[in-house]
Chain A
Amino acid sequence: MNDFIPGRPAPEPPQSPRLSPSPLERRLAGLRGDAPQRSLDARALAALAANPGCGRRAVLDAAGVDKTDLATRLGNPAPFGQSPFAISRGLGFERRVKADGCTVLLDLLREQLRLPEDSAPVVFAELVDDPGLPAGRVASARVALAAAAARPGVWTVLDQPLLRLEVAGSTAHLEPDLVVVRPDGRWTVVEIKSFPILDGGADAVKVGAAARQAAVYVLALRETAAALAGVEPVRDPYREPEGLAGAPDSTALLVCPKDFGNQPTAAAVDVRKPMAVTRRQLDRLTRVEQLLDVLPTGTGFGRDRSDGQLAAAVGALQAVYSPDCLSACELGFHCRAEARCAGSVETLGRGVRGELGSFHTVEQALAAAAAAVTAPGGTHADTAGGTPSDTLADTPDDGDAESALRLARAAALRAEALQTAALQAAAPVGGAG
């Protein structure tokens, strides 16, 4: 893996938790208007990293706009929701894992990370848990981590600490299920999920999503650890820095129900690869300031705006739609409607653009196919005359010509096959050959 770019300038020095908003934060708050803020969480970050080119999502997430609400206002409500049964089962399982002072959990941790038996005391860190005070929560988690680092030989459990990560110029607040500081001084991220580990294996898609989420937490922990140690954070996930800065373990613990029951089981997940991928993709995100600069003045997503103003504001942000968005982004249906309106080929699948070369719309591509088919000389495959290449060989743009040629060829073959089938259907007696 060569995801680490050595020549890259180091990011801004780690900031101490601020209590007053920065100019950018004020600007983003202005965009949000009077609507309540939605904080950028690990799930959103993972989704954003999966589609790093989407400026629309980047700005809306950075500004903390409630996309669910926005989608409803735009007339394309998001189809997401979680069943109350799934929620209650998830909560019940989480309670079970954390029960009895996390005894089961620590046993799983020792077993999976191959730690020796110990009788070290377990300390539960006292954290600020007022959801209205994110800065206070971040600060208390930091204090708790620093305190844990100062007392080795003890288990310290941080239940839902709030971490902070700078992403493309805006702040994300992340809340891992648990962070455990081990007696040997290492920090392990624990993710509790309610999908089962069946016969030692689990749904690859869900495990992947959990690993990406855990990777974001480890990245945030590394920045915190580096800040506590007073050094620059190391950007290469495959290199573990010395001392306190290297405390966050790049192996996370995934805790799930075992088989069809409710008994917790766990698996150690090496998240270095998703860390590298996420790091690189987050670095690639266009900085939010630049995205904001192209917005017309007066743009806003507040509740006081009319539906028309909202639609115009959303339209001013460039989206990168692919059908995967439908299951990952609240605005998926809106962006799809927009893409369909524009006739863009991305609506047909993610790989389609690559196949069609320079053609961006369905209309263009079909016109190119038809033009080559009807052009003199470039006719159906089995009639006399040259191939479609003859008619297009002189076209100046090579890329276009080649895509058009391939399309025309496909169109001719498709037409011929359908015609053959129609003839066979009309005269069913005809044998093979």
Chain B
Amino acid sequence: MKTPRWLLEETAAVSHGRRELRKTFINRAEKTSRKFLSEFLLVNKPPVNDGLLQKLDPRIKMASLLFLLVALSLSTTIPVILGIYVAILATSFISRLDIGKYLRVTLGPTIVFSMPFVLPMTLNLVTPGKPILFLVNLPNQILWLTPSSQLTITNTGLVMAATFFTRALAMLSATQLVMRTTPPHLAFASLSALRIPKLAVLLLRMTYRYLFILTELTNNVFLARKSRTIRTGDAKSERAWAAGRIGWIFKRSVYLGDQVTTAMISRGWTGGYNALPLPALKRADWLAMGCLAVVVTASVVF
């Protein structure tokens, strides 16, 4: 083996002028994947065990969540939806969740994702009704398209938007509450108990497991590139690189899937799936289910 001479010589500093690492979408993607990994590990930390919901059987929590989501989608009264939301907040407090973080992960996404629907909903062009706030006169050229010459916020629109927003907030809060008080393996086991096909649950479990591995792999690819990058390329070459890596990670995930299947076959898997059973329900679980049934019925009736 002959080592090239330049490899054995000392590498001197060479001035390349000003080379700046611009913030490109690749840098942002690397930061996002790193953040996802740290969040993922945080969410997967064993939740405190002495909170209210942590003591309940996961089946009860999953069934309750399902019923609550149905009730919230059927309820059209803002005070009832707000009442449920307050109850969810109170439960998260009793379950000893970090309330600040909990509010951030529920309020933030609800605002971001509901605004594109909520804002147009308030306008008279989308929801006719009694105007409560004048915004602007519409140009003559488009009047033939609109029922009114003015753009206003309507009473009905505002109520509909508020209903939509509070409903989305309550739904996300309920889901986060259950997720943050139930270890993932118990959440998956309870899905089987709710008669969701075992194979579908197995796929969910494995998706969850390997999502982490592939994100870690993606993050390492970004870091390997970063360690050898002294200046940012143009947008075209950045896009080409990213597309190439996406293809590589896809191929890698196909290979991983294939290998995992052989590992499962090796241990007796034949296409069905026998999972560990959950323990029997306790009296407290039934009591919680009863309380929730009352809340759900009341929210639908009122």
Please say whether chains A and B are actual partners in one complex: no
